Amino acid sequence: MSLPYQWILFDADETLFCFDAFAGLKLMFQGFGVDFTPADFDEYQLVNKPLWVDYQDGKITAAELQTIRFEPWAAKLAVTALTLNSAFLSAMAEICAPLPGVRELLAALQGKAKLGIITNGFTELQTVRLKRTGLQHHFDILVISENVGIAKPDVGIFEHALHLMGNPARNTVLMVGDNPHSDIQGGINAGIHTCWYNVHDHQAPAGIAPHYQVSSHHALQSLLLGA
């Protein structure tokens, strides 16, 4: 390797996997006889997005996020919010796909570094998705915030991961993720190196300075392996 990393940790959604929430919701609601529209999605996001911020800030639990976001629809359809959430996660697993270049990157890294995932996503989706895509064998650890009870960017979830990794020197660990707040700031808080997967070429938020930035998995592979 051209960079001295023993471990490379990845975020899951929009870093390794495409996460098309609208497509997943549309597929899920078909099962309930609902034609889910872009306007419906906008209304859903008005509830969902602030909940994710509260979850990352430790103000609500994973269970609360997963139920509260579907409560308005649960009331309309006379089903439980948990039923809708489970159907949504199943739909997301059904449409899941790795982002372009992910399979090639993981294959190229095989045997050159240990790999892990740290995700704020939910257990019901993560494990099924890894199995369906056949990528599970690439990863030595899978750390899911719902299981740990702490979400990125809290340093606690990184400390948990580092413990599972055998507490390697922090400058030998790289965190790769698309979210500058949860992935990059979280990695910085934990004292590990960070790479922002910045496919849309956004400006970094004030005060957040990743060690590296890439806009594709091919670029990440070149950065890590000189390939």
CA gap 67, 86 in Å, rounded? 10
pLDDT in tens, 84-93: 999 999 999 8
pTM of the predicted model as reported, rounded to 2 decimal places: 0.92
Decide if 167 contacts 147 (C-beta within 8 A).
Answer: no
CA gap 47, 191 in Å, rounded? 33
The token pair at 38 is 């872009």
Decide if 22 contacts 38 (C-beta within 8 A).
Answer: yes
Domains assigned to the chain = 7-17+98-225 (3.40.50.1000), 21-94 (1.10.150.240)
Confirm whether 178 is a catalytic residue: no
pLDDT in tens, 59-110: 999 999 999 999 999 999 999 999 999 999 999 989 989 999 999 999 999 9
pLDDT in tens, 194-224: 999 999 999 999 999 999 999 999 999 999 9
Residue 212 main-chain phi, psi, to 5 deg = -140, 160
Residue 28 reports pLDDT greater than 80? yes
Choose, from 11, 13, 154, 183, the residue flagged as catalytic: 11
